[in-house]
Amino acid sequence: MFEKGELIICGGHGVCRVIDITDNPIDRMDKKRKYYLLEPVFEKTSTIYTPVDNEKIIMRRIMNKEEAQRLIEHIREIDVMWVQEEKRREQTYKDAIRTYDSRSLVQIIKTLYQRKRVRINEGKKVLSSDEQYLRKAEELLYSEMSLALSIPKDQVEAYIMEAVRKQEITE
């Protein structure tokens, strides 16, 4: 169970802060089930109620600084998700995004950067679906990492690139 004030990943909503743990917000007579009152950190326009025991939605603590640093250290070792067939590729991206797993998000980002480079080199346009999945994966990963690393979200990509560049120099 999460505590008040804790930052978590909540499926479909990204990084959220646990504002409260309360009784059923709709049926106050139902004292059997507890609910998290969540506020998305980067979209403060809404609040979310979800049962504490909800197993249908992914909920997990955000990574800490050490986990974020370790992920960055191993980024070059994370394989791309190369799927030839268009429909299967799109489903693979959707499935990976739904897991909210940071390594899977890195895989998507690496794959789509590589696909973008290949398509441009071949004189082709970048697919809008690729751009959408890239933006979604970056948003999810960079939101979590910005909080773990205590840096602004818009600086996460540059931070990662610089760390990877330094690794390449020292090898």
pLDDT band for 132, please (50, 70, 90 cuts): very high
Going from the C-alpha of 43 to that of each of 38, 39, 40, 80, the distances in angstroms are 11, 8, 5, 30
Rounded distance, CA 112 to CA 52, Å?
35
Q: Where are the beta strands (DSSP E) in the chain?
A: 7-10, 14-23, 34-40, 48-51, 59-61
Going from the C-alpha of 50 to that of each of 2, 57, 126, 144, the distances in angstroms are 12, 9, 38, 20
User: Tokens standing for 27?
Assistant: 């049926």
Say if CB 94 and CB 105 are below 8 A apart.
no
pLDDT, position 144: 97
- Confirm or reject CATH 1.20.58.1290 for domain 65-170, answering yes or no: yes
What confidence tens digit (pLDDT) does each residue in 36-93 have? 999 999 987 889 999 999 899 999 999 999 999 999 999 999 999 888 888 899 999 9
Q: Where are the domains of the chain?
A: 7-61, 65-170
What's the pTM?
0.89
What confidence tens digit (pLDDT) does each residue in 94-131 have? 999 999 999 999 999 999 999 999 999 999 999 999 99
Rounded distance, CA 45 to CA 164, Å?
35
